[in-house]
Amino acid sequence: MAITTLGIASGIGDLHQIPIGKACRSIHKPNVPGVHVLSITGIERYNVTIFPGVLLPYPISGLEFCDVEVIISHPGIDDQVRITVWLPLKDWNSRFQATGGGGFATGIFEPMLAKALEAGYAAAATDGGHVLDAVDPSSWALKNDGSVNWELLRNFASRSLHDMAIVGKAVTTDFYSTKPRYSYWNGCSTGGRQGYMIAQKYPNDFDGILANAPAIYWSSLDPSGIWPHIVMHEYNTFPSLCEYEYFVSAALAECDMLDGVQDGVILDPLSCPFEPHSLVGSTITCSNKSISITAVTASIVQKILSGPQSSSGASLWPGPTLGTPLHSLANPKVPFPISANWIRYFVLKQPQFNISSITGPDFAWLFAQSMAEYGWIMDAADPNLSSFCAGGGKLLTWHGTADPLITIANTLRYRERVEAEMGGASAVDKFYRLFLAPGVGHCGDGKGPVPVDALEKLVKWVEEGKEPESLWAETVDGDGNLINRDLCKYPAKLKWTGKGDWKLSESWTCESYETQMAGRLAMGKPTTWEIFHASILKEKFFGFVKGYF
């Protein structure tokens, strides 16, 4: 199968065609119900280096492992799915880790596998039977007759994840002659959605699931990514990236200090009162040119921040939180490619369709069509996690509050629904915990401290029963200073003590929801929780779309 890269460079190291031991070459074909195992190969690899790539900010060297490739197909379906399993030749920690994908790619492979291997895991990834391209599904989305390739979409949505779990654990067991003591899922973005899908559809596949910045409501989220492009075309005005950055900086200037610390992060973006029209008439310099902020530009920014709307003005999906960079989705030249291709290939089935021709009313129809046609297969939105809970599974998620691609409203909405379904916050906390990372972008970038021990905390929760109350997070500022935090379990939030070095975690505490509410009510102000419920959690954002038009 042809494979395009995801910006990954890897050195395969010393390849031993005739391995020293025969175990790697003699792994048996796994028995997978409802699946044909077409082939299995294993090669020992030594002194492997994996260079920085997607979700891997540093190189990993000196890896030694058995590289197993299993090709499977599903009866009656013309697919060939590749599952890769890396098995450490020494110091295996007796655990198995399956890894997720990004965008339209079912798996990320080398970066995620290398990180798992470095930590001692046997690890697996799958391509779902697709070319591994995160933004372009053209090679597999449609059949020759122009209809959707539903079987390959099913692979991408969920089926290949279960296949990988079965194959990966079987191969691991065969190689080490013992079953993994525990198995884990690790993914972000698409990988986060995959983790939630596993908890809902295959609740017994993993003991612990780490699913960060999850694209839970895929059928709503994906079309929403072109909203900024539509807004700019409707106004026939295309603000520069410099202008967008000015609005983001202004929001930071207004709300950064609400927590008492000027650190380039809006701690609580949902309570930031910034209004884009307050900047009308301001003059800024962009590319050595003086630009005056117009009312039209402010309206564009406001409409982007408000999120997609129907033709009647009803909100369809929440926009980005204040302080979130806008350049990823509000590119004045091209629409966000993942969203544009979702509409071209899946919603319209017209690969050459000009996204720039979509009007506001057109978008409302496309949004409704996406949900109606694909919500059932792509959305990981079932709030009933009773089977996962009953089996002892643990689900841990962190999500950056400045994520420009997947708003935190997506994750908070799902958490709210699970609480309503399964007995409230305390009951849900026993198996599902959420942490918000202020100022962190998509899967780890941004100005805020990024969680670094989430998987370790998940392992201790699963294996020792130690419930995670916080996640350790770190970043380095422009001057090389280390900034760290102990991120709070939702709905608690960080609060500066007013003492000590604000860059260090000991100067911060976690303020409970009850304390937040008491303090806000004493001042006659709404709580963050109340603001959120009033603006984002209303059913109008997530109800039946047909009621909007």
Tell me which residues are annotated as active site: 189, 403, 442
Token representation of residue 250: 């202004």
Name, in order, each residue with C-beta under 8 angstroms of 409's C-beta and a sequence gap of 6 or more: 318, 536, 537, 541
- The answer to whether residues 100 and 188 touch, using CB atoms and an 8 Å cutoff, is yes
CA distances from 343 to 220, 225, 285, 338 (A): 11, 10, 36, 9
| Residue 491, preceding peptide bond in cis (omega within 30° of 0) | yes
- The answer to whether residues 223 and 316 touch, using CB atoms and an 8 Å cutoff, is no
CA distance 19 to 66: 10
Q: DSSP letter string over 463-478? A: HH-----EEEEEEE-T
CA distance 350 to 352: 6
Residue 154 has phi, psi (to 5 degrees) of -65, -40
CA distance 41 to 69: 5
Nearest to 362 by CA among 296, 315, 306, 309: 309
- The answer to whether residues 412 and 214 touch, using CB atoms and an 8 Å cutoff, is no
Q: How many helices (H) and strands (E) does the chain have?
A: 16, 18
Residue 387 burial (CB < 10 Å; 0-12/13-18/19+)?
Answer: middle
Token representation of residue 30: 């796994």
